[in-house]
Chain A
Amino acid sequence: MDWGAIIQNSFRGFIGEPFIYFSLAAMGLNMHYGYTGLLNFGQAVFMAAGAYGLSMAVVTLGLNFWWGLLLGIVVFPLLLALIMGVPTLRLRADYLAIVTIAASEMFRIIARSPSLDRWTGSSDGLTAFANTFYDFNPFDKQKRYFFGLFIGNQMWVVLIGWIVLSIVVLIVWMTMRSPWGRVLRAIREDEDAARSLGKNAYWFKMQSLMIGGMFGALGGMFRAIGTQSAQPQNFITDVTFFAWVALILGGAAKVGGPIAGAAILYGILNFTDVFLRQLVENGYVPESVMDGTQVGQVRFMLIGLGLILLAIYRPQGIFGTKEEMALDDR
Chain B
Amino acid sequence: MGGVQLVATFARARRGVLAVVVAFLVLLGLGSNGPVSAQEEGGEVKGSLVQKNEEGERVGVPSVTFRAFDESGAEVASTTTGEDGAWSMVVPEGTYDILLDVETLPDGVALRNPDKNPAQVTLIDGSSKSTLFPLGEPEESSAGGNTVIQLIVDGLKLGLIIAMCAIGLSLIYGTTGLTNFAHGEAVTFGAVMAYLLNNAGVFGVQLPLIPATIIVVVICGGVGGLFNRTVWRPMRRRGASLVAALVVSIGFSIFFRYVILFTFGGRAKRLRDYQIQEQWDLGLFRLAPKDLVLMIISIAVLVGVASALQLTRMGKAMRAVSDNRDLAESTGIDVERVISLVWIFGSALAGLGGVLFGLTESINWEMGFRILLLMFAGVTLGGLGTAYGALFGSIIVGLFIQLSTLIIPTDMKNVGALLMLIVILLIRPQGLFGRRERIG
Contacts and interface: CB of A to CB of B under 8 A. Distances in A.
On whether the two chains bind one another, the answer is yes
Interface residues of A, number: 54
B22 interface: no
A91 B425 contact: yes
A92 interface: yes
B180 to A, nearest CB: 11
B384 to A, nearest CB: 9
Contact of A87 (B35, B243, B425): B425
Contacts of B429: 87, 90-91, 95
A304 B253 contact: yes
Among B10, B63, B422, find the residue whose CB has the most chain A CB atoms closer than 10 A: B422
Contacts of B426: 86-87
Interface in A90-125: 90-95, 97-99, 101-103, 105-106, 109-110, 112-115
Contacts of A268: none
A55 B190 CA distance: 41
A114 B63 contact: yes
Interface stretch (A23-31, A214-222, A255-263, A308-316): A308-316
Nearest to A92: B439
A110 B246 contact: no
Nearest to B62: A114
A300 interface: yes
B246 A94 contact: yes
B235 A102 contact: no
By DSSP majority rule, is chain A's interface helix, strand, loop, or mixed? Answer: helix
A52 interface: no
Nearest to A83: B422
Interface in B247-266: 247-248, 250-259, 261-262
Given A97-B179, A301-B255, A304-B254, A311 B248 contact: yes
Contacts, number: 142
Interface stretch (A68-76, A139-147, A227-235, A322-330): A322-330
B241 A329 contact: yes
Interface residues of B, number: 51
Contacts of B144: none
B418 interface: yes
A294 B259 CA distance: 10
B440 A90 contact: yes
A300 B13 contact: no
Contact of B246 (A97, A99, A303, A309): A97
A308 B253 CA distance: 10
Interface in A249-304: 287-288, 294, 297-298, 300-301, 303-304
A211 to B, nearest CB: 21
A241 interface: yes
B251 A307 contact: yes
B297 interface: no
Nearest to A308: B251
Given A86-B426, A87-B422, A87-B425, A315 B244 contact: yes
B204 interface: no
Contacts of A95: 380, 425, 429, 439
20 contacts: A87-B423, A98-B380, A101-B181, A102-B373, A102-B422, A105-B370, A109-B415, A110-B412, A112-B411, A114-B63, A238-B254, A241-B254, A288-B34, A301-B259, A304-B257, A305-B255, A308-B17, A308-B251, A312-B240, A328-B240
Interface of A: 39, 41, 83-84, 86-88, 90-95, 97-99, 101-103, 105-106, 109-110, 112-115, 237-238, 241, 244, 248, 287-288, 294, 297-298, 300-301, 303-309, 311-313, 315, 327-330
Interface of B: 10, 13-14, 17, 34-35, 63, 179, 181, 235, 240-244, 246-248, 250-259, 261-262, 369-370, 373, 376-377, 380, 409, 411-412, 414-415, 418-419, 421-423, 425-426, 429, 439-440
The 7 lowest CB-CB distance pairs between A and B, nearest first, are A304-B255, A307-B251, A304-B254, A308-B251, A87-B426, A87-B425, A300-B258
